[in-house]
Amino acid sequence: MRPLALNALLGLLALALFLASLAVGPAELGPSESVRGLLAGGSEAAAVIMREIRLPRAILGLAIGFTLGISGAVLQGFLRNPLAEPGIIGVSAMAAFGAVAAFYTGLAGSTLYALPAGALIGALLAVLLLLALAARSGSTLTLILAGVALSSLSGALTSLVLNLSPNPFASYEIIFWLLGSLKDRSIEHVWLALPLMAGGWLLIALSARAIDALSLGEEAAASLGIHMARTRLLIVVGVALGVGAATAVAGTIGFVGLVVPHLIRPLTNRLPSRLLLPAGLGGAALLLAADVAARVVLPAGELNVGVLTALIGAPFFLWLVVRSRREVF
């Protein structure tokens, strides 16, 4: 498919799901009431519901999905590893631990800024650790196993910190950090995370030419004039910013970055750089769809969106492992 057509198609899909996300919620607002509430006029209740509750949620679904999709695509291209993804290699889990450690210990008071600050540090540490490992051993398996270890460790530490909190209700929030959710997010969260995520997208976009050259191998890339250290820095900081900010406001949402690049890659010319934008748009569409489903399936209690992405993604992961068994092991 031509890149322009592909991007337009995925963009329209994401837009449609963005509108669907605005239309779904426990308050049964009609279409015209919703539009009036969102833009101007309408009742006070409709305006507040649309602008303060549903709009921030839809924006976060879009932006976080985009971040996870583009991060998965760039990691798969850069590491030349079909199974690389922020969730599987432990970046999301470390970001969640960082956010939990900074927020619940009350070190920074109860300010929301503690969340992204902690999450960025966690994500950065995870990416640096994994790149150091990947540099030593090129095997796909090493990276995935290290990711499994890192995820388990940070999941356990997250639970530990929440259980140790003097607030008896903090331990109920373990599920949010392990299987994220977009429930009851507000415009504050959007301002907190969106600028950081946008910074991440920019850095990842700047690395596009380098990851194309890298698909020919490191030596070939160097002979094409690609600066390895600079590329690595762009990707490390870009992924850490994006995934860190996303996790800080929505918890760990897994598998979006794994599934989407694989589904879309056959529709591109297989150059890693050409995959970045479509993977971002596809990620946004997938997360928005999952978030709509989370509200429709269990209207009263609401499902964690991380449960749905894992239900879709984990079998897909298994299938990828089985299919590529020969290359991987």
Partner 1 sequence: MPSKPGWRGGLLKALYRTSIASFTLALSCLSAIAEPARVMSLNLCTDQLAMALAAPGQLISISFLSRDPMLSPLSEKATAYPINHGRAEEVFLERPNLVVTGTYSLQNTTPLLKRLGFRVEEFSFVQTLDTIPGEIRRMGALLGREERAEALARSFETELADIESRRCEARPTALAYEQAGVALGRGTLADSVLAAAGFRNLASEAGIEGMAPFPLELIVEQKPDIIITRAGEEDAPSLGARVPHHPALRAFSGTRIGPFVPRGAWSCGGPFVIQAVKALAALREEIAPCGEAR
Instruction: List interacting residues with partner 1 (CB under 8 A).
Output: 25-27, 44-45, 48-49, 51-54, 103-104, 106, 109-110, 112, 165-170, 172-173, 176, 183-184, 186-188, 300-302
Q: Which is nearer to partner 1, 31 or 266 (by Cβ)?
A: 31
Taking the complex as a whole, the smallest distance from the CB of residue 164 to partner 1 amounts, in Å, to 10
Taking the complex as a whole, the smallest distance from the CB of residue 249 to partner 1 amounts, in Å, to 10
Which of these, 113, 65, 93, lies nearest to 287 by C-alpha position?
A: 65
Taking the complex as a whole, the smallest distance from the CB of residue 271 to partner 1 amounts, in Å, to 41
Taking the complex as a whole, the smallest distance from the CB of residue 97 to partner 1 amounts, in Å, to 15
Q: Which is nearer to partner 1, 106 or 217 (by Cβ)?
A: 106
Q: Which is nearer to partner 1, 109 or 266 (by Cβ)?
A: 109
- Annotate 54-117 with DSSP letters as a single string: IHHHHHHHHHHHHHHHHHHHHHHHHHT-TT--TTTTTHHHHHHHHHHHHHHT-EEEE-TTHHHH
Contact (Cβ atoms closer than 8 angstroms) between residue 249 and residue 193: yes
Taking the complex as a whole, the smallest distance from the CB of residue 108 to partner 1 amounts, in Å, to 9
Q: Which two tokens stand for residue 47?
A: 């305006």
Q: Which is nearer to partner 1, 49 or 277 (by Cβ)?
A: 49
Q: Which is nearer to partner 1, 57 or 262 (by Cβ)?
A: 57
Q: Identify each DSSP E strand in the chain by its residue range.
A: 107-110
Query: What angle, rounded to 10 degrees, do the helices at 55-79 and 3-23 form?
Result: 150
Can you tell me which residue has the tokens 């749905």? 308
- Rounded distance, CA 249 to CA 287, Å? 14
- Rounded distance, CA 245 to CA 118, Å? 10
Task: Return the amino acid letter for 146.
Answer: A
Q: Which is nearer to partner 1, 49 or 83 (by Cβ)?
A: 49
Task: Return the SS3 of 109.
Answer: strand
Taking the complex as a whole, the smallest distance from the CB of residue 184 to partner 1 amounts, in Å, to 6
CA distances from 277 to 71, 88, 172, 216 (A): 11, 21, 37, 21
Cα-flanking dihedrals φ and ψ of residue 300, to 5°? -75, -55
Q: Which is nearer to partner 1, 266 or 301 (by Cβ)?
A: 301
Taking the complex as a whole, the smallest distance from the CB of residue 5 to partner 1 amounts, in Å, to 38
Residues paired with 33 in a beta bridge: none
- Rounded distance, CA 62 to CA 182, Å? 11
